[in-house]
Amino acid sequence: MKITSYKLSGVLLILLTTILMSCKDDETLQGSGITKQEWSEGQTYTILAGKEKTVAFTTKASWIAQSSSSTLVSLNKNSGGAGQNTLIIRAHNSSDKEAIITIRVSGYSTQSSFKVKIKINEEDKDREINYLVDDYLKRMYLWNEEYKTLTPDFTLAYDKFVKQTLVSMRTNNLDKKVHQESDGQIRYSLYSYIRKLDPDLQSDTRAGKDKIEKEKEYSYGFVGLQPVQELSSSKGFFVIQGVHPGSSADQAGLKRGMEIHKVGGESISIEEWEDIYISLIAGDSRSTQQVTDKDGKVYNINSGPIEVNPVIYSHVKNIHSHRIGYLVYSKFDAGFDQELFDVFKKFKKENITDLILDLRYNGGGHVISAQLISSCIAGSTYEGKVFSSYRYNEERMKAIGNKKRTDPFLYSTYENLNTSLAEGAMNLSKVYCLVSGQTASASELVINSLRGIDIEVILIGGQTNGKNVGMEGTEFTTKAGTYEFFPITFQSYNAKDFGDYENGFDPDHIINENNPRGKQFEGYKEFGAEDEPLYAKAIGLITGKPSKMDRSTRAEIEQPKLILQVPEIRQIGMIK
């Protein structure tokens, strides 16, 4: 028995020793296991975008490294063995502002880390916004599959980066438009656009807003100007197509049809008219200007900034037993939805029987304002039916089960005004639209959506622009400023699933307001005048009576005049 007891004690001692030795082998060593590192724990280091930083260190065992932002920095390797090591960190640019680099040595209890921030070279200040634009296009652009195969030049200026990169693509033919010049040259234009915002002006994007507010912009108040050349001289002039209510041009007494023959006291030469035109139409700062009409009267105007009211003109008239409502609307600006809805409430209150909607100078805007107009025209019968549906890129469509998202015709509640549309709902079966090549985007969306529920839309004027795609905009703020980016992200369809109107809608009745009788330029009549060509045609179609234009003959023209093609400087939008 005694011998057996000794043997048992020995076995127990061996087992205890083995367990203790095993525990010692599994014990995690204290510290990081790193020595001679070329960084201080928790320190932040700045690297120029596109440049590298190399750090050396020694480890007591194998190690692994990782970055908290693979889009901001990349590492030349993620692991290594014991001994002397180097790690190369390359800086990129992304929406991330900083990355944390961590290194952990096998068997040691703590990791070592330091931060990396990116600095933009002043010479390459556009790189930061270009990287952000690139990331957004990869996720949101309607043709992102091809876009992701490109190798963009991030050194370009931000506006050139957008244009040159997207124009280089093949599949984005609904965004990239081809134009053939009179000299046979081919040029391209894009609907997608980017602009740097003036810090004194608010953004036009809907991001983060429950209700879209009025925004300010620099504008003298011209809806449009038509440049005209007198063929007998090298001089030209601008004919005013309309003015925004309450603008400086309006307050000065300038009106549709008036001619501007001098700007800043100087005559308008054919060699310089484009620059003068741009300065009057697309203001980019606070400025004052002096314009002179054909009779020598001088008008002093300023560019604000102002809230540009797109509800240009409206009236209700009794003509041959018809109560006809007429609205001139220049932009689908949801900040002015109340002013727009007030017009439709007036139409409803005065029991109009027919509607003429003048969209000839309307390049589009917010989709919800198009819903407002269309829903008021259609009325309660169509509440909840498909106003429009939207196709996105393949990745986004897959995420929503490849089923188009839809917007309905509204009636009970219009969220942007937090009201019912009952006071403006007219339940019309037909509408007359005055259109031109400037009629685009949300304007065409109204036409297509109403036709989708079999409301008859009679088009009078010229072929529309053909923009059947829209934008979901965003804002980016960098060290260089704040930018507004609106790339094409969706295509729109009506309730009949028709959305292929990229060549525009053909007018039912062709009239060119610049030469309505097919001869020469005759100037412009006031909106709603009996002899204004497009309006007069609509009145004739409604009443079945010959219009004043049908009965009259062309006035004699004192001098032959040439209509000049205006440059494309205003963005065309269908914005969600």
User: Within a 10 A sphere around the Cβ of 67, how many other Cβ atoms?
Assistant: 17
- Mean pLDDT across the stretch 202-206? 47
User: Which stretch of 119-133, 359-373, 511-525 has the lowest confidence by average pLDDT?
Assistant: 119-133
Burial status of residue 480 (CB atoms within 10 A of its CB: 0-12, 13-18, 19 or more): middle
Looking at the DSSP bridge assignments, the partners of residue 59 are: 34, 83
DSSP annotation string for 461-499: ES------EEE--EEEEETTEEEEEE-EEEEEE-TT---
Distance of CA 336 to the CA centre of its chain: 18
| Residue 259: per-residue pLDDT | 95
Q: Is the pLDDT of residue 401 over 50?
A: yes
This prediction has a pTM of 0.78
Domains recognised in the chain with CATH numbers: 32-117 (2.60.40.10), 125-194 (no CATH), 215-305 (2.30.42.10), 309-468+487-546 (3.90.226.10)
Pinpoint the alpha helices (H) of 179-309.
248-252, 273-281
**Amino acid, res. 189:** S
Mean pLDDT over each residue of the chain, to the nearest integer:
87
Give the C-alpha separation, 214 to 208, whole Å.
Answer: 15
Quick one: pLDDT at residue 49? Answer: 74
Least confident of 6-15, 480-489, 540-549: 6-15
CB neighbours of residue 488 within 10 Å: 25
What are 438-483's pLDDT values in tens digits? 999 999 999 999 999 999 999 999 999 999 999 999 999 998 899 9
| Residue 515 vs residue 373, higher pLDDT | 373
Rounded to 10 degrees, what is the CA torsion of 565, 567, 569, 573? 50
Sign of CA dihedral 329, 331, 333, 336: negative
Length of the chain: 576
* pLDDT tens-digit series, residues 103-118: 999 988 888 888 888 7
Of the given ranges (343-347, 464-468, 558-562), which has the lowest mean pLDDT? Answer: 558-562
Name the DSSP class of 545: S
pLDDT tens track for 36-49: 888 888 788 888 77
The strand pairing partners of 165, in sequence order, are: none
pLDDT for the residue 477 = 92
* Mean pLDDT, range 315-326, rounded to an integer: 97
The pLDDT score that the predictor gives to residue 17 is 44
pLDDT of residue 549: 63
Neighbours of 307 (CB within 10 A): 17
Question: How confident is residue 551, by pLDDT bands cut at 50, 70 and 90?
Answer: low
- For residue 567, whether the previous peptide bond is cis, meaning omega lies within 30 degrees of 0, is no
pLDDT of residue 518: 67
Paired tokens of 517: 């009788």
Q: Is pLDDT larger for residue 301 or for residue 46?
A: 301
Higher pLDDT among residues 439 and 121, named by residue: 439
Are 295 and 260 a contacting pair, CB within 8 Å? no
Which residue is associated with the tokens 């027919």? 354
- C-alpha to C-alpha distances, 336 to 220, 245, 414, 438, nearest whole angstrom: 18, 12, 14, 21
pLDDT reading at 205 higher than 70: no
pLDDT digits (tens, 9 = 90+) for 235-287: 899 999 999 999 999 999 999 999 999 999 999 988 888 889 999 998 778 88
Return the SS3 of 328: strand
Structure tokens at 343: 């017009």
Provide the strand spans (E) within 160-310.
176-180, 186-190, 193-196, 222-230, 235-243, 259-263, 266-269, 288-293, 298-302
Mean pLDDT of 282-309: 92
